[in-house]
Copies of this chain bind each other. A is one copy, B any other.
Amino acid sequence: MSAPRVPDGYDPSAFTPFAVTVDLAVFTVRHGRLHVLLVERGLEPYRGAWALPGGFVLPRESAGQAARRELAEETGLSERTAGALHLEQLRTYSDPDRDPRMRVVSVAYAALVPDLPEPRGGGDAALARWTDLSRVLRPGTPGPSGSTAPPADGLVPLAFDHGDILADAYDRIGAKLEYSCLATAFCPPEFTLAELRQVYETVWGVELDGPNFRRKVLATPGFVQAVDGPPRRTGAPGKPAALYRAGAATTLHPPLLRPEGRTA
Which residues in A have some Cβ–Cβ distance to B below 8 Å? 1-8, 12-13, 15-23, 39, 41-43, 45-46, 51-64, 89, 91-96, 98-99, 101-107, 123-124, 159-162, 179, 251, 253-255, 257, 261, 263-264
- Identical chains bound together, number: 2
Set of chain B residues within 8 Å of A45, measured between Cβ atoms:
3
- Give chain B nearest CB distance to A125 CB in angstroms: 11
Task: Check if B96 sits within 8 Å of A2, measured CB to CB.
Answer: no
Task: Check if A263 sits within 8 Å of B257, measured CB to CB.
Answer: no
What's the Cα separation between A56 and B106 when bound, in Å? 16
Q: List 22 A-B contacts (CB under 8 A).
A: A2-B21, A2-B104, A2-B106, A2-B159, A3-B41, A3-B46, A12-B43, A15-B20, A15-B56, A16-B56, A18-B18, A20-B20, A59-B96, A60-B96, A62-B96, A63-B94, A63-B105, A64-B94, A89-B91, A91-B91, A253-B257, A253-B261
Task: Check if A8 sits within 8 Å of B43, measured CB to CB.
Answer: yes
A1-B21, A63-B105 known; 17 new pairs, CB 8 Å cut-off, are A1-B22, A1-B55, A1-B106, A1-B162, A2-B162, A3-B45, A5-B43, A5-B51, A15-B20, A16-B20, A16-B57, A16-B58, A16-B59, A17-B17, A17-B18, A251-B263, A254-B261
Given contacts A15-B56, A263-B251, contact A62 B95 (CB under 8 A): yes
